[in-house]
Structure 1
Amino acid sequence: MQAMENGGDLPRRIGVYTVERELGAGGMGTVYLARSRGGRAVAVKVARPELAADPHFRARFRAEVEAARRVGGFHTAPVVDADPDAQAPWLATAYIPGPTLAELIERQGTMNKEQLRSLGAALAEALQAVHACGLVHRDLKPGNIIMADDGPRVLDFGIARAVESTRLTATGAAFGTPGYLAPEQAQGDEVGAAADVFALGAVLVAAAGGSAFGTGTPMGLMYRSVHEPADLSALPGELRSLVASCLSKDPAGRPTPETLLGSLGPDPNPSPDPKTLALATADRPHVAPPVPVEPPADHGRVDEPLRRAPAELSRTPRVMILLIAAAAVASALVGGFLALTRHGDDNKGGGPSVTASDSRRATSQASTPPSTPASSRVAAAPKDRVTVVVTAKSGRSWISAKDHNGQILFDGVLDNGETKNFTDKSQITLVLGDASLLQLVVNGKEVPNDFQPGQVERLTYDRSGEMY
């Protein structure tokens, strides 16, 4: 990639493509409008420096690009070129003129029922093509959907998986976009095609003018997507049941793209136009026009959980709360601890129901009294195990911790000063809703906290104390 002679930040050329202007930036990097030597317009996405420096990203990026080349269909932007080995890896797709769905909603307002059906069907068809090639999009959102003249086009399919393989410094970039992440994705579990269907449901809520999991910090959005029901109040009543199934916490409970296509095609019972109805009944005064009945809203908007007391967080239907309080006689008070666990299996395609999985859920280990220094709590940890101590040093942060088998050790919110201790014979994996608020001590050694405020991280530590 060559820089412009005037010293500007805009590159002159990327590969054989001449850059014209910047189109935008995202979790992977910067996107430019460029031209091929024959004059064809392409969108070239260039990886960010921290990604380019990670060999795991390059290997995964190369594999994802090869798979993405096979994606066809009417509703995607085809990959035309890529160079995973460049100093800054890049990917070129056919340029599709038009605003993103996010831009369109901002300019023109929300979509009506017919427009939502059309959008949902187009996105389901795009996911069909992506999944048929063995890919999972992992970051379907309004900003990745171009509203072209001939219908919606999906961008960046499969690339989020390459991004997910590395430790990033951008909020939410390691997983996709909070608010559209499926619960299994937010918790760092294996992700399948059902995660894209979850995102499609959240996209339809956004297109209707709502927000499936409210607004606020990435931590709050991710927490609600795992533990709380979606807010479907913005949707027309006829679509709520279908979108609710897309947003099921259990991947096995979500419809396939094929099923969605069958349900989101032309409305078999469209509402009659008032003028047409008036003309049709003008000579039949005894016939009253039908009165549509809207079903009651499924849910009210979910408030930001970070602004509620810890007890209020426990009111979700899928969360089990264990509160143990013990009062010391003289000088010590050991507070209760909150163990919020998730339902289902590790997204192998058919997790059990929340009731069936209750007996397999792990609870968090008891907190060490805050008066004990974090480093001393793990000083005597066996050398054949990995021990991680997480302390909320300021504010509150949602964390999810798993052992080497993927078993949940803790899934909940740490209050200011609260500590959790996790030990495993092989590895500990953490998902941190806001890593900047936490202190990490791994095998007795404190991990430098260089995270930015609001930064979402997924970290895995082995017995050597190294992150990988």
Structure 2
Amino acid sequence: MEVQRRVGPYTLLRKLGEGGMGFVHLAEDPAGRRVALKTMRPELAAREEFRRRFGKEAEAARRVARFCTAPVLDAGFDNGTAYLVTEYVEGPDLSAVVARAPLTGSNLEALAVGVATALAAIHQAGVVHRDLKPSNVLLSPVGPRVIDFGIAQLAETAVGAPVTVAQSMGTPAYMSPEQARGEQGTPAGDIFSWGALVAYAGTGRPPFGTGGVAEVVYRVINHAPVLDGLDERLRPLVERALDKDPGRRPTAQRLVDLLLGGAEVPVAAATAKVSETWTPVVPAPPAATRPPARPGAAPGGGRRLWVPVAVGALAAVLGAAVTLAVVRPWEPRGAEPGTPAVAGTIKALDSTFAVQIDSVVRQGTTVRLRWTVKNVGTVNSPIYNKFGSGALDNTVSRIAIVPPGVGKPLYPAQKDGSCECADVPVAPFEEGDQLQLWALFEGVPEGTERVDVDLGPLGTMRNVAVSSA
């Protein structure tokens, strides 16, 4: 039997995974851009109630802002096959990473903020995730991305509501007590799942243990979570999220505010902060070749994102100044190490962009560049395929740095044939939209203190300071 190679206008490249609802494939759209395409199981699409609600639920999911999520791009039917298309996120899921070792330091904090930010964006669109679990959090080069929001509603449509735990999607260890009892999913249930997920990420264990479905569900409903070993900065907030009473749990927006020490922190600001502090996840080298830890270094690398015990001081820095420091990252940040105040406003690609070099950090002969671009014009000006080396390259592989004394530009490093750099989302880039991007460069002379940064169509930033890791 011939394997189906196309669904609607999309070409299937390879299967990425399989779940209770169907199959997920890496696919290409007609323009050659890569997307993730989920096909629903035929027995679901055969149900009239499922077909009736599919378009409605997919359209609701498309309203979710892209902040810390993999946005829904398209949905439809093809010869009886229902399919949903989302942005393709490069990176492992949380469960695959934690299977090696729990997250620590700035990456654990960034995960907590990033997933809370995604839930805030999802809930602001009137959608409930209902199936937040480690396999639905992908760790991209710029931070965690939540996927499959809104899918659980379709499962309920297929089996009839309310659902029992045996029918419900997801892993019982991350369900709220009310969802485990078969009650309707609510935003408060997603908050409980956030607490369970962060506890798992930080300890390597689900807070209600493992075992058979009935056993785990009983603990979720009746037992206190086991949080031994969880970072003490996160533990109080995780405990609040895991309250058995949904009315006592914080909202997603409140989680973001408490984590960042602000008030009504915009999801765009929180996303930028996550990207700024996130260190891309890479396989750990063998112990014999691993360099010794620097004295006093925080586990997990990177700068610490927040310190709840100093909420008063942090509020003065982030709460009062969050608009300047995060929402408007293209404005100079001063002389803080690793964040050169190099910025400019340029006209390009039929719009006007504010551009800032956020950091240029060197470790040995490797340099990490982070930069932010914001559309401050009045027209939509998509920027995908504008920074890559080819018409179908959605990365920033065209970006280059030029150290003094080096005769030619240095472009991002390659690993296994792929650019060690950020992908640019295949999406509109409208007035007020912004992205923080990154790239790794190798072969930079040791001792380099200044470089020129060539941002392709956005021009060149001259004499940018380089800080040491």
Q: TM-score range by the shorter chain?
A: 0.5 to 0.7
| Alpha carbons 2:159, 2:167 under 8 Å: kept | no
Aligned to 2:120: 128
Aligned to 2:96: 103
The offset of 1:225, in angstroms, is: 1.1
Aligned to 1:257: 252
The offset of 1:177, in angstroms, is: 2.1
Secondary structure of the corresponding residue to residue 81 of structure 2 = coil
Whether 2:153 is the aligned partner of 1:161: answer: yes
Whether 2:80 is the aligned partner of 1:87: answer: yes
CA distance in 2 between partners of 1:170 and 1:22 (Å): 30
Aligned to 1:288: none
TM-score, normalised via structure 1 length: 0.53
Secondary structure of the corresponding residue to residue 89 of structure 1 = strand
The offset of 1:275, in angstroms, is: 3.9
Aligned to 1:12: 5
The offset of 1:124, in angstroms, is: 0.8
| Alpha carbons 1:27, 1:173 under 8 Å: kept | no
CA distance in 2 between partners of 1:251 and 1:244 (Å): 12
CA distance in 2 between partners of 1:53 and 1:261 (Å): 40
After TM superposition, list the pairs within 5 Å mapping 1:288-437 onto structure 2. Answer: none
CA distance in 2 between partners of 1:65 and 1:245 (Å): 31
Given candidates 195, 207, 212, the residue that maps to 2:207 is 212
The one-letter amino acid of 1:110's match is P
Whether 2:184 is the aligned partner of 1:184: answer: no
| Alpha carbons 2:164, 2:180 under 8 Å: kept | no
Q: CA RMSD in A?
A: 2.6
Q: CA-to-partner distance for each residue in 1:248-274, whole Å, 9 max, x for gaps?
A: 11111111112211222389xxxxx98
| Alpha carbons 1:51, 1:166 under 8 Å: kept | yes
Question: Structure 1 residues 213, 86: closer, same or farther in 2, change over 3 A?
Answer: farther
The one-letter amino acid of 2:178's match is E
CA distance in 2 between partners of 1:120 and 1:172 (Å): 29
CA distance in 2 between partners of 1:245 and 1:59 (Å): 38
The offset of 1:123, in angstroms, is: 0.7
Question: Structure 1 residues 274, 35: closer, same or farther in 2, change over 3 A?
Answer: closer
Secondary structure of the corresponding residue to residue 83 of structure 1 = strand
| Alpha carbons 1:198, 1:246 under 8 Å: kept | yes
The one-letter amino acid of 2:196's match is A
The one-letter amino acid of 2:241's match is C
| Alpha carbons 1:111, 1:207 under 8 Å: kept | yes
Whether 2:223 is the aligned partner of 1:231: answer: no
Aligned to 1:197: 191
TM-score, normalised via structure 2 length: 0.53
Structure number with bigger Rg: 1
Aligned to 1:174: 168
Question: Structure 1 residues 155, 173: closer, same or farther in 2, change over 3 A?
Answer: farther
Secondary structure of the corresponding residue to residue 263 of structure 1 = helix
CA distance in 1 between partners of 2:96 and 2:111 (Å): 15
The offset of 1:142, in angstroms, is: 0.8
The offset of 1:64, in angstroms, is: 1.0
The offset of 1:210, in angstroms, is: 1.6
After TM superposition, list the pairs within 5 Å mapping 1:263-278 onto structure 2. Answer: 263-265=258-260, 275=295
The one-letter amino acid of 1:240's match is R
Secondary structure of the corresponding residue to residue 11 of structure 1 = coil
Secondary structure of the corresponding residue to residue 44 of structure 2 = helix
The one-letter amino acid of 1:137's match is H
The offset of 1:190, in angstroms, is: 2.3
| Alpha carbons 2:165, 2:180 under 8 Å: kept | no
Greater Cα shift, 256-265 or 67-76: 256-265
CA distance in 1 between partners of 2:118 and 2:92 (Å): 18
Question: Structure 1 residues 234, 164: closer, same or farther in 2, change over 3 A?
Answer: farther
| Alpha carbons 2:177, 2:221 under 8 Å: kept | yes
Question: Structure 1 residues 118, 93: closer, same or farther in 2, change over 3 A?
Answer: same
Aligned to 2:35: 42
Structure 1: which 5+ residue stretches go unaligned?
1-6, 268-272, 278-291, 293-468
Greater Cα shift, 241-250 or 229-238: 229-238
| Alpha carbons 1:185, 1:191 under 8 Å: kept | yes
Aligned to 2:17: 24
The offset of 1:115, in angstroms, is: 2.2
Aligned to 2:106: 114
Q: CA-to-partner distance for each residue in 1:388-424, whole Å, 9 max, x for gaps?
A: xxxxxxxxxxxxxxxxxxxxxxxxxxxxxxxxxxxxx
The one-letter amino acid of 1:162's match is L
CA distance in 2 between partners of 1:39 and 1:173 (Å): 37
Secondary structure of the corresponding residue to residue 85 of structure 2 = strand
Structure 2: which 5+ residue stretches go unaligned?
263-292, 298-308, 310-469
Q: CA-to-partner distance for each residue in 1:324-344, whole Å, 9 max, x for gaps?
A: xxxxxxxxxxxxxxxxxxxxx
Question: Structure 1 residues 202, 84: closer, same or farther in 2, change over 3 A?
Answer: farther
CA distance in 1 between partners of 2:165 and 2:181 (Å): 15
Aligned to 1:77: 70
CA distance in 1 between partners of 2:199 and 2:15 (Å): 29
Secondary structure of the corresponding residue to residue 110 of structure 1 = coil
The one-letter amino acid of 1:39's match is G
| Alpha carbons 2:180, 2:217 under 8 Å: kept | yes
Q: CA-to-partner distance for each residue in 1:431-466, whole Å, 9 max, x for gaps?
A: xxxxxxxxxxxxxxxxxxxxxxxxxxxxxxxxxxxx
